[in-house]
Amino acid sequence: MDAALEVVYGAAGVWEQALAGLSWYHGVIAAAYLGVAWTCLVNGYIARTERDPHRVWYLTALLLCLLAINTLLRGDVFVTHMLRGLAKIEGWYGVRRPLQYLAEFLLAVFLLFLFGRLRRELTVGAVQSESVAFGLVLLLLLLALRTVSAHGTDAIINLYLAGVSVGRWFELGGLALVLQGALHGLRLR
């Protein structure tokens, strides 16, 4: 029990540092998530009134809101350090790399399945918005990669291009795809 509390306290310390490092652009990113979530909510409401499939729009809005909260609360940092601490006290920290890459592979397979399912749901009815499915899966993949935190993927995600990290570029791209699909859906209604 003491070891588990030590893991929690260790992760909480790193998490506290991550929260102290928040700046104005984290708020902007969270606001962008919420703005895109709003367009998905409006699409869901209109689709429901037109008796079109609407649950996927509501699910997308919910996931975007959760991602906005994660942007501000840095939950992925806490979970990552909890898992690292767990690996240390369980004695398999030294062999975690293959497990991280296996986890990334399994998450990618799951997200490909999710993409196919979302794509099918978003191409039924009056409005077809495949870009919403692709953008949402891209955002979830990025969250999964950050949480699993394998060394090689962290190096790529944290690489800076034009003053912005590759992870942020992918995040903005995913948001843009969801927004484009949601706005396209609103224009067609």
What are the pLDDT digits (tens) for 157-189? 989 999 889 999 999 999 999 999 999 988 887
The pLDDT value recorded for residue 1 is: 61
As given in the structure block, the two tokens for residue 177 are: 């795809």
The structure's pTM equals 0.87
Stretches in the chain below the pLDDT threshold 70: 1, 125-127
Q: What percent of the chain has pLDDT over 70?
A: 97
